[in-house]
Amino acid sequence: MQKITTYLWFDNQAEEAATFYTSLFADSKIHHVQRSGEGGPGPAGTAMMVTFELAGQHFLALNGGPAFTFNEAISIFVDCEGQEEVDELWAKLIADGGEESQCGWLKDRWGLSWQIIPKQLPELLQHPDPAAAQRAMKAMLEMRKIDVAALREAADGR
């Protein structure tokens, strides 16, 4: 196990979420599902703790009940190769109750925040021409899902 692991608190959907998340990324899998026994804490046989891996990054998911919920103070940042990967992940993560936010952010159906960011965004925001970088920033601030072509056009002044 890696030294630092992200720990996610779900009401009762940890196994469902881990199964969904591992379907999104290559090099992903569920390692172990610890189930409640007759003595609890949940109904016997239900998932209590799920250990899983997304693209080589380890996570723990707990079915801890409704006491805590996700908010934007924590998010999962995905460094996408380009627009195709952004489009694919965006569509899957907002499906079935997810919601778009702005500037490449969204919440999935469980309320976990994700940043779906193409590699081209930081490149354009750090453009050697400060005016081009500023135009790209202005364009990004008006977007929900990041549109690489629109960012390039803005940076080019078109």
Which residues are CB-contacts of 149 (< 8 A; sequence separation ≥ 6)?
Answer: 83
> End of a domain among 20, 39, 63?
63
Give a yes or no: residue 48 inside a domain: yes
Q: In this structure, what are the phi and psi dihedrals at residue 120, rounded to the nearest 5 degrees? A: -70, -25
The string over 77-99, giving b where at least 16 C-beta atoms fall within 10 Å of a residue's C-beta and e elsewhere, is ebebeebeebbebbeebbeeebe
**7's tokens:** 């720990």
- Tally the domains of the chain: 2
pLDDT for 133:
97
Give a yes or no: residue 49 inside a domain: yes
| Residues of the chain above pLDDT 90, percent | 92
**104's tokens:** 């490449």
Q: Are 92 and 148 contained in the same domain?
A: yes
Q: Are 124 and 55 contained in the same domain?
A: no
The rounded mean pLDDT for the chain is 96
Q: Are 140 and 99 contained in the same domain?
A: yes
Contact call for residues 75 and 63 (beta carbons, < 8 A): no
Which one-letter DSSP state was computed for residue 40? B
Express each pLDDT in 11-30 by its tens digit.
999 999 999 999 999 999 99
Which residues are CB-contacts of 95 (< 8 A; sequence separation ≥ 6)?
Answer: 109
- Please, which pLDDT band fits residue 1 given cuts at 50, 70 and 90? low
pLDDT exceeds 90 at position 2: no
| Residues of the chain above pLDDT 70, percent | 99
The domain of 93 spans 75-155
**142's tokens:** 């008006």
Express each pLDDT in 93-131 by its tens digit.
999 999 999 999 999 999 999 999 999 999 999 999 999
Give a yes or no: residue 68 inside a domain: no
Give a yes or no: residue 1 inside a domain: no
